[in-house]
Chain A
Amino acid sequence: MIAQRAVEQDITRLGWIDYLLMGSASGLAVFAGAQAVAAVASAPIFVGLVLLGTIVSALVQSSLSERFAKLVGGIAYALLALACFATWRNFNMLMPEKVLAETRELAPAGFLIWMIVYGSFASWRDSTLLFQSVPGIAIFGLVGCYDTYRPAPFLFFGFLLCLCTMFARAHARTMLEQAAASGYQARVAQEALSTGDPAKAGRWVDAIRRGPWKWVAGPEWALASAASVVLISLLGAPVIQRSVSGVSGFVKLNVPVRATPPPPPGVLSSANGNISSARIGQGPSRLSDTPLFRARTDVLRYMRSGTYHSYSGMGWEQYRAFGNPSFMNTEDAPEARDIRTEAISRMKDAKRIEWTVEKLTLAGNSIPTPGEVVGLSLRVGEYDLGGDGIVGTNRQTAPLPRVSGQSLVVDGATPTYAASNIPLQMDQTLSTERVSDRLQEDVLKSTTQAGNDYEKAQAWKREIERRCRYNLNAAATPQGEDPVEYFLYESNEGYCDLFASSMVLGARVLNIPARYVVGFLPDPERDADGKFVLRESDAHAWAELFFEGVGWVIFDATEGAASVEGGARGSSNTGHEWWRQTWVLALAGFAGISALGFAFWFAMGKAKAAAVLVDPVRRALDREYSLFVRVLTKVGGKPRMLSSTPDEFLDSVRGQLGPYETKAESINQRFVGYLYSPSGPDPKDLASLKAEIRELASGLKKR
């Protein structure tokens, strides 16, 4: 009966640790899933629901009998899964973001997230608890497909760790059940009865852990395995990805909704009302290859998504004058005279090009466009038109817009002089308010040989290219320094934002209207549909100078600049200081985990040793063994290596023992038994052992 109770307690019942692990794993899965589909506000609610369900399950499980929980647990889980299928959309409509229910493409993710939530309320047995991992893995699979949530792999590592611990605990329970079925439990009970200690029958699990399971691979193995998995994944995944790059990526997934990725420096739309400035010289930024737009244009063009006119000494301020959308299709709108129409009016021999831009994410609302936009497929009310000609969409939900339009461009014309008589709104484009005297002198000095304004601008561009090198890994401008001054006179290396800013300020010194522009310069290769893919890593900044007869002319000072090794555009878009490289971080992480593991192992060893030393008999046994080793070492002349077992040590000195070999072997056998068996010697055994060692020592001495 006691043994039976022990079985109930030790084997078949799930513990609070199991529920903690299940809650954590499920919480990580639903959080990642919600984040990946931009349900940012819903994510913590999902996690809360999962934790609530886990607590309910733990309480139900503890109040049900094991047999009943096994009987109804599976049925309850299946019923809840069915109920989830029928009702999850209704519940999802109560969430802050309804995107999961409203977007057909995201329905699988929505169903899986809600299935985990529902399932957490009916995890009353091992199998259902572990089954929760199936929708969990599926969610992470979808998150990986969307590739919209950067921390997803790290959350997945956490999920996997919880899952593995759950599996390990379930496996241990299965093994204990098998041990009970093997008759071991009955044997312990019988031994307990024969020794007159019936309580021992109830401690058979303890007996098995001290006996047949004493030498089982312990937590140090699990720790080492976990560390290896994380390390190899961190180091190996990029290698694998690179090695299959020739065949990978042949399927394009058009994810309808994305979580907002971190904004790349300067790639902020002037049509985005939330942000009105762009800082420069901020140092390297991690830019992914995530596709943000797909664009079809006649040739590869700079795709403008934001303009800035006012230099603040730290970055650029946005020009906030909005245009009038009703003039969109009017190439000649004299009364409007915003920057766009001003530019259009100055363009001679311009040609009209067609373009299409597909927005792939919800990040920002600006649409990168080439040239000066003169026509859009969107209806009035569906877009914003900036006074600087930047187009923004008002659509915040799926399906995301696919915008077609026309722009005016001037190709092949060589401008000569800067535009004069510019309107009042463009005054800022000539401002040299924050340009130092030194810089002004340098600009003027470097352009003395040039004839017209265009040649002067080219001369200044060449000067920048001569002075500075392009480096994606350049450090940030130190606090209090002017980024452009620091770039031109101190560091002489930097990102595109510093090249562009230097060009703009120099042009203004030369009295050429200039603005700082952000957007995209995509890879020249088109995709299978003939479109350019605008990735996050294609974000770029350049200068635009306003010339008579041509309008805004692009000056990209990075074109002719040399690159720092490893810091060229396209060579590393995730680069930063060496100590922030992935492999360094991975190595540091591994070292940290190893150090923790070692500390844990060391502490465990100390604890064990302390436990052993507390036992006086054990301590005496250790003393006797040391004496035994000393006696044999004296005769054999070989000290005992720490790594050698008692048998190995005896073998090494056996030849020198002569007639005392048998005696020494018998003592050694007794030591092996006492030192490594679950139960050590009793004081009587110890006394006889002591006497035998003394006898052996004196015998060997006399010899």
Chain B
Amino acid sequence: MQRVASLAISTSAIFLIVVAIMLNSPALFYMATAVIVLLGACRWQANLSVRALHFDRVAPESVRVGEMVTVEIVVWSERAIKRPLVTIRDNFPTKMPVAHLSPSLPIAPAFELPIRTQYQFRPLKRGKYRWTGLTVAGTDALGLITATRTYETTPAEVTVLPAAIPVSVDLPTSLGWGISEAESGQSRGAGIEPRGIREYAQGDSLRHVHWRSTARTGVLLVKEFEAGSHAAAAIVIQRTKSTDLGAGPTSSQDLMCGHATFLAEQFHRQGVTVVFPGLEDPRRIAHTFERSEEIAHLLAPLRDDQDATLGEDLLANLDTLPPGSAVFPMLSVADPSLIGAVSRANALGFTVVPLLYDAAQFELKRAADSAVDPGYIGRLRAAGGSPMVMPLGVAG
């Protein structure tokens, strides 16, 4: 509406002055001058409103994909003048897709006094994002003319952590502690020491709800148990160049990270140590409550920027894995070198369960390279792996 009004009044001004000159009509000269001066005054006000300001941004260091984030910006005026309201637009990096981006709170900056504005958004893709600068938009008191000005600010850095994407996977029973057992309650039966109480998460059995605490707090809480084993799981995600398929927040690597986060949480609840060889040193992993957060931070900056193939990556880290680990390579593009790595891992006593994604679902032209090619699956099996085709979920 503001644009339409501004356009209508500007057009009227031009019309009035042109016709005034054509007809030499004094009345039209008065009217045209009034409208032109009005627009000039609006322009002046708008320009004045965005000058001599400085800013300080307060943004959270890390957030989860899909979480509502509030960013606060503190504004000072360097001149002792009153101004019309201004709004602020942050210079987000173009690579950071966001949803539900709210407009900023309009504010009137004050001289030497901090005035806070804020806006909200939901990040859609994991990663580490850094940006600097913002754009201030100032409108005159009538809302007819908007002036903008870009200011440099101290850089802001936000890590967008992957959100866990629930997935139902039937792990081979040979693992001895798989999710299937967790769901059936075998690993959480009597005689296993409880570890504590935590909030209910998708996948938890209702049998383990701690009703007394739930009634007291109003939040659904479940009991957590030690698995009573020293089992370990190693998740290796394909990071070879050009293997992150698909665009935006639903790429193959984002889906893998979301699934890996979910599986890691599930394993962790069962007392299984989860490691990410290649991203951290598996020998220094502590089984702590902050482990889920650590994993999210590991996965957040993950990119397909490695020269090494998944197989090479796995081979390079086999000697650092805890003995008897179950290894979960996650890949969408068939990697021939993985066959040899699976054979080698088997030989060393590791159980390898390749989690395969269909490349064609992300990029049709990569269908020929898809990891779910039956021939490739057959070769993985022949090498001693237990490949599983992952169902597709939607990241975020």
Contact = CB atoms under 8 A, between A and B. Distances in A.
A is bound by B: yes
Interface string B351-384: 0000000000000000000000000000000000
Nearest to A134: B8
B41 A212 contact: no
A506 to B, nearest CB: 39
A233 B31 CA distance: 8
20 contacts: A127-B1, A147-B26, A147-B27, A150-B27, A153-B27, A153-B31, A167-B142, A170-B143, A171-B2, A174-B2, A175-B143, A178-B103, A182-B104, A183-B102, A214-B110, A216-B84, A216-B85, A221-B45, A248-B21, A248-B23
Contacts of B115: 211-212, 215
A160 B35 contact: yes
Contacts of A213: 85, 106-108
- For this complex, into which size category does the number of interface residues on chain B fall? 35 or more
Interface string A298-325: 0000000000000000000000000000
Nearest to B12: A137
Nearest to A225: B41
B5 A182 contact: no
A171 B143 contact: yes
Interface centre among B15, B104, B139, B143 (most CB of A within 10 A): B143
A153 B30 contact: yes
Contact of A212 (B19, B45, B82, B108): B108
A183 B71 CA distance: 10
Contacts of B104: 178, 182
A130 B21 CA distance: 28
Nearest to A241: B29
A182 B38 contact: no
Contacts of A181: 102-103
Interface residues of A, number: 71
Contacts of A178: 87, 103-106
A645 B103 contact: no
A238 interface: yes
B23 A217 contact: no
Nearest to B87: A178
B109 interface: yes
Interface in B5-34: 5, 8-9, 12, 15-16, 19-34
A127 B117 CA distance: 28
A527 to B, nearest CB: 12
Interface stretch (A19-27, A138-146, A264-272): A138-146
A248 B70 CA distance: 58
A144 B33 contact: no
Contacts, number: 199
B136 to A, nearest CB: 14
A216 B108 contact: yes
B103 to A, nearest CB: 5
B108 A217 contact: yes
Contact of B113 (A221, A236, A249, A676): A676
A253 interface: yes
B31 A217 contact: no
Contacts of A134: 8
A126 B38 contact: no
A174 B111 CA distance: 25
A251 B1 contact: no
Contacts of B20: 144, 241, 248
A143 B23 contact: no
B215 interface: no
Contacts of A152: 27, 31
Interface in B69-100: 70, 77, 80, 82-85, 87
Nearest to A147: B25
A250 B18 CA distance: 11
A647 interface: yes
B119 A232 contact: no
Nearest 3 Cβ contacts at the A-B interface: A171-B143, A249-B24, A144-B28
Contact of A240 (B23, B33, B106): B33
B237 to A, nearest CB: 35
A167 B37 contact: no
B112 interface: yes
B12 A233 contact: no
A211 B110 CA distance: 11
A217 B84 contact: yes
B76 to A, nearest CB: 11
B16 A141 contact: yes
A232 B112 contact: no
A141 B12 contact: yes
A144 B20 CA distance: 8
Interface in A125-168: 126-127, 130, 133-134, 137, 140-141, 143-145, 147, 149-150, 152-153, 156-157, 160, 164, 167-168
